[in-house]
């Protein structure tokens, strides 16, 4: 989604802003722009990629302070006028904004009646006009007065002609200030500034900051507040492609390490089980898990796994639906899974849960993210920065966190528990073996890439894997894909089966096995080609499916991990074959900061 950058210091501002914008491209955008302070303000923007902006900017742009933005259209189509930065009537005030101003129409009417001239369709444009209205020589005060009128969510950076400073503010949309040596940066997320510094301050809701090259001042409602500085452990290398064609492929290949790092952060070598338990806990009672998209699929895997191991009832809800259906009781414990920690639907759900007196445990990959700061308890995954829009390694890391949360409370005998802990430790090697089979998987992907519709089916703990396989395929290859519980196909989707609609069947060696075999036969009887994922050593499925991709043997509880990696590779190579922009699929954004 939209990205924000800002710089003030001794460097030439143009290359710094462009470099930061390149680093934000992964978030997904349709337009971009910069405003630089060269005495006056100069604004350059259009509905183009950063590279095109870079190539068309005048060579000689001076200035040591500026702001930049990548826009993901919400109000008004992608166009030059709708791109950020937006200015006031005088052209002296420029603003970049992430979020949504919900009362912008009312503000716009009112400002227009006072003589302000609007040129864009955006909600953002009211902000520079409000600042203009309240400006009496003090930019910080004018920003504060403007924001008092504004409803909705925002992270903004404001630049005014002749004033060498950046004024920043946030509410319900992330914003950081990054500290350098006689220079400072502003960004909506960390990868933007990793080339320059790893020292970061996370702004809180209602903070207003004034940033100069050698000072940062933050206040709330006019009172100065101290905000802690954090050291970011991710390196620039983590956020680069490292020789891979796409971030997605690199991130798929990082998964053995991600599993090792995430599990390593939880389990000590000497006391594996004792160190799993959360301090002071006696057990996990019935559970609610909330999430969106791929993280929701992790939640569903968690449900099947916890219900089996813990024998408790686990409810899952889409965070985006929770406002309409969520019933909780005060004091109950709720798990929220969000890779970015910034998804608007997840944050809204967390706020509702907290108002209702629930205790919220957040599983997130981003230290310092909004979700991590409002949670009662945080479980960090250690996937490193995930740049590709399609979630891969963060999903597998979420599964590790769920196993870790569940295992200490498993109502199973000690021998099974020992074998599960050992199985967890062996998972990186098993995933590596899936990756070693990449060439075979890519051949099947090439076959799939020729179709326009694909079904994925699974049962039990592999039903969510079918959903995830379908989501990955549709989002990056644009092939229409549906994930189904295998038993549900005959309740309607059978009408769509035929020789032009292949089915990917995930077959696990558990109590779902016989039923899956029957389902494959039913599908074959409707002439759909079947690609089956089966455990190594299985000969039976080869007899009924058209093709078989084998996965290493693991406890069925861990089968979602190895199966998902196969489906990620299938999606990747199908998209590659179709020439799709894999890391930045159309219309999508990495972190979805609007409802
Ligand atoms: C799909 C994908 C999305 C995210 C969803 C939730 O590949 O990445 O479906 O999983 O937007 O994002 P987080 O986990 O950041 O809340």
For residue range 468-491, what is the model confidence (pLDDT) as tens digits?
Answer: 999 999 999 999 999 999 999 999
In the residue annotation, 32 being an active-site residue is answered as no
Confirm if 132 and 151 have CB atoms less than 8 A apart.
no
DSSP-assigned states of every residue in 238-265: GGS-TT-SSHHHHHHHTHHHHHHHHHHH
- Secondary structure of residue 132 in the 3-state scheme: helix
338 lines ligand 1 (CB under 6 A): yes
25 near 51, Cβ under 8 Å?
Answer: no
Nearest to residue 16, comparing CAs of 197, 233, 167? 197
Tell me how far the alpha carbon of residue 483 lies from the centroid of ligand 1, in angstroms: 17
Tokens 């030439």, residue located = 12
Candidate list 92, 165, 250, 590, residue with the active-site label? 590
How high is the pLDDT of residue 586? 83
Does the beta carbon of 343 lie inside 6 Å of ligand 1? yes
Torsion sign, CA atoms 53, 591, 225, 148: positive
Nearest atom within ligand 1 for CA of residue 346: 16
Q: Element (H or E) spanning 160, and its range?
A: strand 154-160
Residue 284's pLDDT is what?
66
Distance, in Å, from the CA atom of 298 to the CA atom of 444, rounded to the nearest integer, reads: 25
Protein residue whose Cα sits closest to atom 3 of ligand 1? 293
CA atoms within 13 A on the CB side of 427: 32
Residue 171 annotated among the catalytic residues of the structure: no
Answer yes or no: is pLDDT of 274 > 50: no
User: Which residue among 343, 363, 398 is best mutated to probe the pocket of ligand 1, counting the most ligand atoms within 8 A of its Cβ?
Assistant: 343
pLDDT at 511 over 80: yes
CB 206 within 8 A of CB 187: no
Q: What is the mean pLDDT of residues 329-347?
A: 91
Q: Is the CB of 248 under 6 A from ligand 1?
A: no
Radius of gyration, CA atoms only, the chain: 25
Ligand 1 centroid from CA 415, angstroms: 36
Give the ligand 1 atom nearest the CA of 292.
Answer: 6
Give dist(CA 406, CA 301) in Å, integer.
12
Which residue, 103, 110, 87, 98, is CA-closest to 37? 87
- The sign of the CA dihedral 159, 161, 163, 164 is positive
CA of 116: how far to CAs of 13, 105, 110, 132, 191, in Å? 30, 13, 9, 9, 37
- In the predicted model, what is the mean pLDDT of residues 574-586? 93
Residue 170 has pLDDT above 90, yes or no: yes
- pLDDT for 296 equals 98
228: buried, middle or exposed (CB in 10 Å: 19+, 13-18, 0-12)?
A: exposed
339 CA to centre of ligand 1 in angstroms: 7
- Quick check: pTM over 0.85? no
pLDDT in tens, 195-224: 999 999 999 999 999 999 999 999 999 999
d(CA 180, CA 196): 7
Report the C-alpha gap between 255 and 252 in whole angstroms.
6
* Residues 101/150, Cβ–Cβ less than 8 Å: yes
Cα separation, 197 vs 157, in Å, equals 19
Q: What separation in Å is there between the alpha carbon of 95 and the centre of ligand 1? A: 28
- What's the pLDDT at 121? 93
| pLDDT, tens digit, 9 for 90 and up, residues 372-398 | 989 998 888 989 889 899 999 999 999
Beta-bridged to residue 184, according to DSSP, are 8, 179
pLDDT at position 594 is 67
Pick the closest to residue 409 from 315, 303, 278, 288 (CA basis): 278
Tens of pLDDT, residue by residue over 391-417, are 999 999 999 999 988 888 889 999 999
The label of the residue with tokens 């006696």 reads 282
DSSP 152: B
Q: Whose C-alpha lies nearest to ligand 1, atom 7?
A: 390
pLDDT band at 270 (very low <50, low <70, confident <90, very high): very low
Q: Which pLDDT band holds residue 280 (cuts at 50, 70, 90)?
A: very low
Q: Which residues contact 82 (CB under 8 A, 6 or more apart)?
A: 31, 47, 71, 73, 75, 76, 120, 121, 122
Residue 363 scores a pLDDT above 90? yes
The alpha carbon of 489 and the centre of ligand 1 are apart by a number of angstroms equal to: 26
pLDDT band for position 333 (50/70/90)? confident
**For residue 314, how far is its CA from the centre of ligand 1 (angstroms)?**
21
Q: What is the pLDDT of residues 100-124, one digit of tens each?
A: 899 999 999 999 999 999 999 999 9
Average pLDDT over residues 420-444: 96
- Which H/E stretch holds residue 577? helix 559-577
**Three-class secondary structure of residue 5 per DSSP:** strand
Mean of per-residue pLDDT scores for the chain? 92
Residue labelled with tokens 């409810």: 315
Q: CA 69 → CA 41, 86, 158, 266, 538, distances in Å?
A: 15, 10, 12, 38, 53
Say what the pLDDT of residue 281 is.
Answer: 55
Is 390 touching ligand 1 by the criterion CB < 6 Å? Answer: yes
Cα 295 versus chain centre, distance: 9
Residue bearing the CA closest to ligand 1, atom 5: 293
Mutate-to-test residue for ligand 1 from 391, 476, 593, highest number of ligand atoms within 8 A of CB? 391
In 9-48, where do the E strands start and end?
31-38, 40-46
Ligand 1 pocket test, pick from 295, 474, 481 with the greatest ligand atom count within 8 Å of Cβ, gives 295
- Which of 56-70, 157-171, 177-191, 423-437 comes out lowest in average pLDDT? 56-70
CA distance 94 to 101: 17
Residue that the structure tokens 């590659």 belong to: 576
Closest CA to 399 of 350, 462, 458: 462
What span, in angstroms and rounded, lies between the C-alpha atoms of 510 and 304?
13
Query: Mutate which of 28, 317, 477, 592 to test ligand 1's pocket (most atoms within 8 Å of Cβ)?
Result: 592
Q: Please answer whether residues 555 and 415 qualify as being in contact, where contact means their C-beta atoms are separated by less than 8 angstroms.
A: no
Place of tokens 């040129």: 119
Task: Determine the atom of ligand 1 nearest the C-alpha atom of 371.
Answer: 16
- The torsion of the CA quartet 263, 264, 265, 271, rounded to 10 degrees, works out to 100
**Tokens at residue 567, please?**
């489906």
Q: Is 521 helix (H, G, I), strand (E, B) or coil?
A: helix
Separation between Cα atoms, residue 349 and residue 272, nearest integer Å = 33
| Confidence label for 1 from pLDDT (cuts 50, 70 and 90) | low
pLDDT at 267 over 90: no
Task: Report the pLDDT value the prediction gives residue 25, as an integer from 0 to 100.
Answer: 84
Give CA 386 to chain center in angstroms: 8
Q: What is the pLDDT of residue 388?
A: 92
CA–centroid distance, 414 to ligand 1, in Å, is: 36
Strands (DSSP E) found in 492-546: 503-506, 530-535
């Amino acid at each position: 989604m939209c990205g924000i950058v800002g710089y003030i210091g001794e460097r030439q501002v143009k290359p710094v802003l462009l470099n930061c914008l390149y680093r934000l491209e992964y978030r997904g955008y349709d337009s971009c722009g910069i405003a630089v302070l060269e005495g006056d303000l100069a604004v350059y923007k259009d509905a183009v990629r950063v590279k095109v902006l870079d190539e068309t900017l005048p060579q000689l742009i001076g200035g040591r302070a500026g702001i930049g933005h990548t826009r993901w259209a919400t109000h008004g189509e992608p166009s030059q006028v709708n791109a950020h930065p937006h200015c006031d009537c005088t052209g002296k005030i420029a603003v970049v904004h992430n979020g949504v101003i919900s009362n912008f129409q009312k503000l716009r009417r009112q400002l227009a009646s006072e003589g302000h001239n609007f040129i864009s369709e955006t909600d953002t444009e009211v902000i520079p006009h409000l600042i203009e209205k309240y400006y009496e020589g003090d930019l910080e005060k004018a920003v504060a007065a403007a924001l008092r009128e504004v409803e909705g969510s925002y992270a903004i950076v404001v630049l005014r002609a002749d004033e060498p400073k950046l004024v920043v503010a946030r509410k319900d949309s992330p914003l950081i200030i990054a500290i350098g040596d006689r220079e400072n940066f502003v960004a909506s997320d960390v990868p933007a500034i990793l080339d320059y510094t790893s020292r970061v301050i996370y702004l809180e809701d209602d903070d207003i900051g004034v940033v100069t090259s050698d000072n940062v001042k933050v206040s709330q409602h006019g009172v100065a507040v101290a905000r802690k500085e954090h050291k970011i452990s991710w390196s620039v290398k983590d956020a680069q492609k490292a020789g891979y064609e796409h971030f997605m492929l690199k991130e798929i290949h990082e998964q053995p390490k991600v599993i090792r790092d995430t599990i390593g952060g939880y389990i000590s070598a000497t006391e594996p089980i004792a160190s799993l338990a959360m301090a002071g806990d006696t057990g996990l009672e019935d559970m609610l898990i909330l999430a969106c998209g791929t993280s929701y699929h992790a939640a569903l895997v968690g449900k099947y796994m916890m219900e089996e191991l813990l024998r408790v009832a686990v409810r899952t809800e889409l965070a985006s639906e929770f406002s309409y259906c969520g019933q909780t009781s005060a004091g109950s414990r709720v798990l929220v899974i969000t890779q970015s920690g910034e998804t608007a639907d997840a944050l809204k759900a967390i706020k509702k849960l907290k108002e209702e007196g629930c205790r919220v445990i957040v599983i997130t990959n981003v230290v310092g993210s909004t979700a991590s700061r409002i949670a009662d308890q945080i479980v960090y995954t250690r996937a490193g920065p995930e740049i590709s829009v399609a979630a891969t390694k963060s999903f597998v890391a979420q599964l590790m966190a769920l196993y870790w949360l569940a295992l200490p409370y498993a109502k199973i005998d000690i021998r099974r528990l020992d074998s599960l802990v050992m199985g967890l430790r062996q998972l990186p090697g098993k995933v590596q073996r899936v990756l070693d089979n990449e060439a075979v998987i890519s051949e099947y992907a090439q076959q799939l890439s020729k179709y326009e519709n694909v079904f994925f089916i699974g049962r039990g703990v592999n039903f969510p894997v079918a959903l995830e396989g379908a989501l990955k395929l549709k989002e990056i290859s644009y092939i229409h894909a549906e994930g189904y519980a295998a038993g549900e196909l005959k309740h309607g989707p059978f009408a769509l089966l035929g020789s032009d609609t292949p089915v990917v069947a995930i077959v696990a060696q558990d109590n779902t096995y016989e039923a899956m075999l029957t389902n494959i036969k039913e599908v074959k009887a409707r002439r759909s080609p079947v690609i089956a994922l089966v455990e190594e050593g299985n000969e039976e499925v080869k007899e009924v499916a058209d093709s078989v991709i084998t996965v290493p043997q693991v406890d069925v509880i861990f089968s979602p991990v190895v199966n998902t990696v196969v489906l990620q590779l299938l999606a990747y190579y199908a998209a590659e074959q179709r020439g799709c922009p894999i890391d930045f699929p159309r219309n999508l954004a990495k972190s979805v900061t609007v409802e």
